[in-house]
Amino acid sequence: MPETSYLDFDVLSRIDNMQLLARVVVEGFLLGLHRSPYRGFSVEFAEYRQYSPGDEIKHIDWKVYGKTDRYYIKQFEEETNLTCYILLDASASMGYRSREGGLSKLQYGCYLTACLSYFMMRQRDAAGLTIFDDDIRTILPPRRRQTHMKHILAALEGCEPGGETNIAGPMHHLAEGLKRRGLIVLISDLMDDPDAVLGALQHFRFQGHDLLVFQILDDAELTFPFDTMTEFTDVETREKALVSPEGIRATYLRELRSFLSRYEKGCADVKADYKLFDTKRPLELALSEYLFRRSRLGG
Amino acid sequence: MTFLTPTFLAGLAGVALPVLIHLLTRDRIRRVEFSTLRFFVRTSGRVLRRKRFREMILLLLRAVVCGLLAVAFARPLLDRPRDDGLEVVSARTARVVLADVSASMARGDAPTWLRTEAIAALEDLSAGTDAVALLTFADHVTVEAPLSRSFRRAEAAATNVRPGDGATNIAQALRWADAQLRRARARTREIELISDLQRSGWRDFRADFQLSPGVKLTVRPIEVGTGDRGVAVQGCSFPETTVLDREPRAVTVQLVNYSDEPRQAVPVRLKMGGSEQKREVNLRGGGTATATFRRVFETPGDHRGTVELAGRPAFYFNARVIPKIKTLLIDGGPAAGGLSDAAFYVETALAPGADVSSSFERFTRRVSAVAPSDVADVQVAALVEVSSLRPAVVRALDGLLQRGGGVLFLPGEATDAPAFNRAFADVAPCKLRAVRTGRLLQTGGIGASLARIDYEHPIFEVFRHPRHGDLSLPKFRRYWEVTDSQLARVLARFDDNRPAVLAREIGAGVSMLLAASPRDAWTDFPRQTTFLPYIWQTLKYLAARTEERTTYLVGESLPVPAEHTLIGPGGKTDAAGRFAARRPGFYTLQDPNGRSVATFAVNRDPAEADPTTVAADEIIQAVERPAEASRLAVADGEDDGPDRDDLGLWWWVVVAVTVLLAAELLLGNKTLRH
């Protein structure tokens, strides 16, 4: 089933017990797993706790009182439906893979998108997908229907690396078009001007969206393992550079650290969660690690 | 630079090896598509250029190492300056060719043979590998071509070599050649001597000289046929300096027949002042004869004379006629009306008689009558038994010394030592202490003799040779013991080692003292034949009228005062200070105003006509070191042989290779290549 090739059930079984919780409460009416400030509106029972002065008397469970002769407050948690916008970078740089048979960054991003979409569908959250390179190539608006998952998977199947990276432009364009606040998940190698990208994230943040940034890099990009004299060709600009790798490795890694650090700090500044993924790492491990960290923050 | 084993230089081709390896193992460029160049596009060019620069340096280092190894095995010999500033020449064979260009080499076919042998001496050497020097020698040595691996100058000099007028001096030439070879770093060092091997040219050899260890001497003798031998002037006796007295002077020419055949009626002419005198002389084979001419000099000044033999100038001389020396004789001895004994003898010596021309014009004064004005006009003053003089007179004597005159003290019986010491402290060469008595003689009587005489001094020079006066004959029964003579030079001593004749330079003049009065009671010196020449020589010397020589040999230096000009046979010379005469003939000295002030006659050394030769083996055995002695001398470090020097250079090359390899290792680690 090609349309379901991105759904790894082993992966999903590993993350099934995790809580994907938004850090920022999103306005919504549908119940879900996301904690809501609108108590009493939802009917999802959460737990009992002993009454303490000041609690609403109407929340006392009189049946329990009849059985135990003690006052217990019945706790409910309202659930909201989350609107999630997944932004997948399909620029040419995302097509890079260092090993034959390995995953390209775009493939890795597609897997990650599928996992997140499926998981959100199960939570009855609305998931949308936007694929872009230097412009928006595909937009699937957020839907809560299970059949929408097929559209997402179909869009991912047809996704090929395209033109030059221009993250900021499509994001600004998208930010202008989103009427409802939700969770923005950006999946990209972020090979663009950090200031421009962070400016676009700030745009989303300004409009009340919660932000998740998944930066995906190849292992070769992180370690620069080349040794012999190499002529590198930029896959986007086709620019060439003849390089002695051992001579510039230190400089490359220093520049890369500075680049990543710039994003990490910038994301913290706009209150966006930032996670770096290495395509060499198993997808489920990366996703589990993120969800665990997310749940801890949300708890 | 040269090489002992140049075959190894083929190893220089190994320089190509690193280049080849570099080309074969240079980086294969891998082409990779990468997500972005943003992290290295700015530095990649610089890094790549640095890497390529380092690789070029590495390549160069490796090539230099390979080249140096080849050079090291080829045993390089560097030309480097010695401690004395001369450049050291390295070669396989270093040879110094010594060409005899003395006057004797002009006889017969000798000049042709000289050139032939000089050219032949260069033929078995290879320019660039061997080094050669060509020196010509006579009385002096000329480096025609210094030691060099280029033969151009040596070959040109060999082609143009021709005899001159100098005297032969083989020993001096060998010293020069040895000095040239000391500059050489060569496996073989040798001297080739081309000469007629005159015995007279070997007379200056001193047994303490030997060639440097390892230096080999080869002699190429030039044979002069017996037919080229003939009559020559062996010497000439003439009045080099005489006083204007219109007395005839003898000019005696000594002739020698170097051939075995007798020569009859050999014409000898004396040309002087426009006149000519002729004599004919008969000489047996190998015999000698003299020709005597008489000449009266009627005017003061230089008189040039030329002796011609068989129609060709054979000897030049210059007789200098001088006016008389004004001499003041101060008598302080006891006398009854006339002169004391001592003063009488001195005065008589100055004017022996009417038939003897004297060089002196004397003025005699008693000590009580002498005045400063008497001293002003004289050139020399003799104080006989004078104890003291008026201070004004003493000052006048001091003035005489200051202007170059002389004072002779003859202290005697009448001299009072304390008074003498006080009065003449500034003008006498010493002080008087006491009168001494001579030792008892075997022949009876008492007397001291003169001993330890400095015959090099001008006043005793005439007594130097045998039969020229025996100064040990005069006996001194009494004489003065002197003291405080530190400033004086002792020219003669009595046989008890006490000073007898002392001289002290004061100002431009000289003060002299004979420690005994020439009176009968003290000595028989005035009655000896040596008294008169002694007094004459002493007073001439003190009067600063010790005339300079007027006749020299080729090669000797002529005195040329500052700003004076010397006109030689070839015209004006660039003489300054002293000038070594190179050609026979007359040289005229002119003062800055162009006025002739002196004439010098210059002759070839008469010994050059002597065909007697020295054996080549005698020379070789005298100067060459035996092989064992050479080896020991090298071992003792007496001569820094070529091998040790080569080794030093070799080690430097090895050190350079090591350093370069270390640098290559360091740089190679920085420039990783895979």
Q: What is the ipTM of this complex?
A: 0.71
Distance from CA of A48 to the nearest CA of B (A): 55
Residues A190 and A255 in one domain: yes
Is there a contact between A243 and B31 if contact means CB atoms under 8 Å apart? no
Residues A69 and A121 in one domain: no
Is there a contact between A233 and B41 if contact means CB atoms under 8 Å apart? no
Is A28 among the domain residues? no
Rounded distance, CA B592 to CA B133, Å?
Answer: 41
User: In the predicted model, is pLDDT for residue B94 greater than 50?
Assistant: yes
Name the residue range of residue A61's domain: 43-76
User: B459 phi and psi, to 5 degrees?
Assistant: -75, -20
> Which among A27, A57, A76 is the end of a domain?
A76
- Least Cα distance to A247 among B663, B664, B671, B31 occurs for B671
Joined tokens for residue A134: 């230097």
Residues A115 and A244 in one domain: yes
User: In the predicted model, is pLDDT for residue B595 greater than 80?
Assistant: yes
CATH of the domain at A255: 3.40.50.410
Is A29 among the domain residues? no
Considering only A8-22, B19-33, B331-345, B596-610, which range has the smallest mean pLDDT?
Answer: A8-22
From A96, A246, A251, residue closest to B35, measured CB to CB: A96
Residues A280 and A184 in one domain: yes
Domains, chain B, in order of start with CATH, read: 2-74+650-670 (no CATH), 89-227+612-640 (3.40.50.410), 234-321 (2.60.40.10), 325-542 (3.40.50.880), 556-603 (no CATH)
Mean pLDDT of B554-568: 84
Highest mean pLDDT among A273-287, B446-460, B554-568: B446-460
Q: Which pLDDT value is given to residue B524? A: 92
**Higher pLDDT, residue B222 or B83:** B222
Residue of A nearest to B54 (CA): A247
Residues A156 and A250 in one domain: yes
From A228, A247, A251, residue closest to B28, measured CB to CB: A228
User: In the predicted model, is pLDDT for residue B495 greater than 50?
Assistant: yes
DSSP-derived letter for residue B439 is P
Share of chain B above pLDDT 90, in %: 28
Joined tokens for residue A150: 């097929």
Is A228 among the domain residues? yes
Is there a contact between B37 and A239 if contact means CB atoms under 8 Å apart? yes
Q: Are B342 and B518 in contact (CB under 8 A)?
A: yes
Joined tokens for residue B521: 């009671």
Rounded to 10 deg, the angle between the B44-73 and A245-269 helix axes is 160
Residue to mutate among B36, B43, B673, with most A CBs inside 10 A, is B36
Is A60 among the domain residues? yes
Would you call B309 helix, strand, or coil by DSSP?
A: strand
Is there a contact between A231 and B51 if contact means CB atoms under 8 Å apart? no
Residues A68 and A190 in one domain: no
Q: What is the maximal distance between C-alpha atoms in chain B?
A: 141
CB-count exposure of residue A297 (10 Å: 0-12, 13-18, 19+): exposed
Instruction: Give residue B629's identity as a one-letter amino acid code.
Output: A
Mean pLDDT of B405-418: 93
Residue pairs spanning A and B at CB distance below 8 A? 93
C-alpha pair distances (Å), A35 with each of A22, A29, A76, A142, A274: 8, 12, 10, 20, 22
C-alpha pair distances (Å), B446 with each of B322, B452, B471, B473, B478: 42, 20, 17, 13, 9
Across A54-76, b (16+ Cβ under 10 Å) vs e yields eeeeebebeeeeeeeeebbbbeb
Distance from CA of A184 to the nearest CA of B (A): 25
Joined tokens for residue B474: 């005069």
Is A193 among the domain residues? yes
Residues A63 and A142 in one domain: no
Q: Which pLDDT value is given to residue B354? A: 73
Is there a contact between A233 and B50 if contact means CB atoms under 8 Å apart? no
**Higher pLDDT, residue B572 or B287:** B287
Rounded to 10 deg, the angle between the A283-298 and A105-122 helix axes is 50
The total number of structural domains that make up chain A: 2
Q: How far is CA A80 from the centre of its chain?
A: 19
Rounded distance, CA A59 to CA A135, Å?
Answer: 53
User: In the predicted model, is pLDDT for residue B147 greater than 80?
Assistant: yes
Q: Which pLDDT value is given to residue A33? A: 40
Is A32 among the domain residues? no
Q: Which pLDDT value is given to residue B476? A: 93
Q: Which pLDDT value is given to residue B311? A: 83
pTM, full prediction: 0.47
- Cα-Cα end-to-end distance for chain A: 38
Q: What is the maximal distance between C-alpha atoms in chain A?
A: 83
- Least Cα distance to B43 among A139, A248, A167 occurs for A248
Residues A173 and A277 in one domain: yes
Is there a contact between A226 and B47 if contact means CB atoms under 8 Å apart? no
Is there a contact between A232 and B47 if contact means CB atoms under 8 Å apart? no
Q: Which pLDDT value is given to residue B415? A: 93
- Per residue in B631-659, pLDDT (tens digit) is 665 555 555 444 445 556 777 888 888 88
Is A218 among the domain residues? yes
Q: How confident is the model at residue A13 (pLDDT cuts 50, 70, 90)?
A: very low
Residues A160 and A192 in one domain: yes
Mean pLDDT of B481-490: 93
- Per residue in B349-385, pLDDT (tens digit) is 988 887 776 778 888 999 889 999 999 888 899 999 9
From chain A residues 36-95, the ones with a CB under 8 A of any chain B CB are: 93-94
- Per residue in B8-49, pLDDT (tens digit) is 888 888 888 888 887 777 667 788 888 888 787 666 667 667
Residue of B nearest to A231 (CA): B31
Share of chain A above pLDDT 90, in %: 14
Highest mean pLDDT among A272-276, A282-286, B348-352, B483-487: B483-487
Is there a contact between B33 and A251 if contact means CB atoms under 8 Å apart? no
Residues A285 and A138 in one domain: yes
Is there a contact between B30 and A229 if contact means CB atoms under 8 Å apart? yes
From chain A residues 239-258, the ones with a CB under 8 A of any chain B CB are: 239, 241-244, 246-248, 251-252, 255-256
Residues A162 and A234 in one domain: yes
Average pLDDT, chain A: 75
Rounded distance, CA B403 to CA B507, Å?
Answer: 7
Residues of B with CB below 8 A from A161's CB? none
Is A33 among the domain residues? no
* Element spanning A241, H or E: strand A240-243
Residues A191 and A218 in one domain: yes
Distance from CA of B668 to the nearest CA of A (A): 13
